C-alpha cells in the first residue's frame, strides 16, 4: 500500500515549464533543487525523475519510471513499448521536410536518392517507405537546419513550430510528416496501486484542462430576455439566475467554452445582455 508513482519529466527544455506548471496546477507540490535529478512530491505519492527527453520513453518502457511526459515525436521515434495515457495539448509542433528556399519542389518523389539530415530517422524512414521513396538518411543530433548550407545534406527533416528557424536558415517547408504535442505516457502493465495513483492524477489533469478551456460568465439580463439569453448559454447544466435589486433585471451565471467565446459574447449583447463579466476558472470537475 506504499506505492509511489514515478514520473519522468524533461529536466530542462521546451517541455519542462509547461510540464511543471501542469503538475503544480494539479496540486502536486515538490521541491526542485538546482542540479537535482530526483524530486519527491510533498503532498502526493509521487517522485519525479528529471531526465533528457530522449531517455523518457525507454525509462518508462523498462519500468524505471511508471509514467512520463514527452513529445509524441520522441515517443514515436524511440519506438518503445509504452502507451499514451493522455494527450496534454501543449508543446505542439510538427516534423517537416524542408529544402533550400530557391529550389523547386517536385513532390515527395523528388526526394528520391537525396541526402536528408534529421534527428528523426525512424519517423522519416517510415514516411519515405510509405511513399515508396528511397533516400539517404543522415542522422544528426542537433542543429539540423544548417546541414544544407554546409553541404551535408540536400534536404532536412526537423521540428517546426512557427517556421522562423527554417526561414532564417534559407529553407522552406515542403512536407509535414508528423504532428506532435506533449503526451503522458505510461508503462503498459502498471500494478494496481500505481494505476490508482495514475487515475487520481489523470482526474486532476482533466479538471485543469477543462478549466483552461472554459470561462465563467456573469451578465445582467432584462427579465423579458431570460429565455432568449438562456438559449445562448450552454452552461454545465443550465445557467444560474439571481434576482437583482432592480426587479426588471436578473443576473445570469454560466460557463462558456473558449472556442466559441467571442461569438457567444456578440450574440449575448445582441440579445440585450449588459455588464458582462468573464472570469477564469481554476478547476472544473465534470
Ligand atoms: P533534451 O536536452 O531534454 O534532450 P531537446 O533539446 O532534445 O531536450 P527540446 O528542444 O527541449 O528537446 O524539445 C523538447 C520537445 O518539445 C520536442 O521533442 C518537441 O516535442 C517539443 N518541441 C520542439 N520544438 C518545439 C517548438 N518549436 N515549439 C513547441 N514545441 C516544440
Ligand atoms: Mg532530446
Q: How far apart are CA 180 and CA 96, in angstroms?
A: 11
Ligand 1 centroid vs 96 CA: distance in angstroms?
A: 14
Q: How far apart are CA 231 and CA 233, in angstroms?
A: 6
Ligand 2 centroid vs 118 CA: distance in angstroms?
A: 13
Ligand 1 atom at minimum distance from 119 CA: 7
pLDDT tens, 38-60?
999 999 999 999 999 999 999 99
pLDDT of res. 264: 94
pLDDT tens, 190-203?
999 999 999 999 99
Task: Report how far Cα 189 is from the mean position of its chain's Cα atoms.
Answer: 24
Assess whether the C-beta atom of 147 lies below 6 angstroms from ligand 1. Answer: no
pLDDT of res. 259: 87
Assess whether the C-beta atom of 47 lies below 6 angstroms from ligand 1. Answer: no
The low-confidence residues of the chain, meaning pLDDT below 70, are 1
Ligand 2 centroid vs 13 CA: distance in angstroms?
A: 8
Smallest-distance ligand from the CA of 165 = 1
Assess whether the C-beta atom of 157 lies below 6 angstroms from ligand 1. Answer: no
The answer to whether 70 and 183 are in contact (CB under 8 A) is yes
Start-to-end CA distance of the chain, whole Å, equals 29
pLDDT of res. 260: 85
The answer to whether 91 and 161 are in contact (CB under 8 A) is no
Can you give the pTM of this predicted structure?
A: 0.91
Amino acid at each position: 500500500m506504499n506505492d509511489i508513482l514515478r514520473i519522468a519529466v524533461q529536466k530542462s527544455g521546451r517541455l519542462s515549464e509547461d510540464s511543471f506548471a501542469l503538475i503544480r496546477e494539479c496540486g502536486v507540490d515538490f521541491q526542485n533543487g538546482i542540479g537535482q535529478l530526483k524530486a519527491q512530491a510533498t503532498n502526493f505519492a509521487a517522485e519525479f525523475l528529471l531526465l533528457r527527453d530522449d531517455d523518457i520513453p525507454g525509462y518508462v518502457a523498462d519500468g524505471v519510471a511508471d509514467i512520463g511526459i514527452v513529445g509524441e515525436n520522441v515517443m514515436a521515434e524511440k519506438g518503445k513499448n509504452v502507451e499514451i495515457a493522455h494527450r496534454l495539448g501543449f508543446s505542439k509542433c510538427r516534423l517537416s521536410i524542408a529544402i533550400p528556399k530557391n529550389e523547386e519542389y517536385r513532390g515527395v518523389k523528388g526526394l528520391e536518392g537525396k541526402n536528408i539530415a534529421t534527428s528523426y530517422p525512424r519517423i522519416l524512414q517510415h514516411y519515405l517507405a510509405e511513399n515508396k521513396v528511397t533516400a539517404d538518411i543522415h542522422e544528426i543530433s542537433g542543429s539540423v537546419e544548417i546541414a544544407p548550407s554546409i553541404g551535408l545534406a540536400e534536404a532536412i527533416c526537423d521540428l517546426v513550430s512557427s517556421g522562423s528557424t527554417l526561414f532564417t536558415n534559407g529553407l522552406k517547408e515542403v512536407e509535414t510528416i508528423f504532428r506532435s504535442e506533449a503526451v503522458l505516457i505510461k508503462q503498459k502493465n502498471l500494478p494496481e496501486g500505481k494505476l490508482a495513483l495514475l487515475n487520481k492524477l489523470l482526474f486532476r489533469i482533466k479538471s485543469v484542462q477543462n478549466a483552461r478551456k472554459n470561462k465563467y460568465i456573469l451578465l445582467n439580463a432584462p427579465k423579458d430576455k431570460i429565455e432568449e439569453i438562456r438559449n445562448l448559454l450552454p452552461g454545465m447544466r443550465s445557467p444560474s439566475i439571481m434576482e437583482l435589486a432592480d426587479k426588471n433585471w436578473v443576473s445570469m451565471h454560466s460557463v462558456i467554452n473558449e472556442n466559441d467565446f467571442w461569438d457567444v459574447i456578440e450574440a449575448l449583447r445582441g440579445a440585450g445582455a449588459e455588464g458582462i463579466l468573464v472570469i477564469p476558472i481554476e478547476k472544473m470537475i465534470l
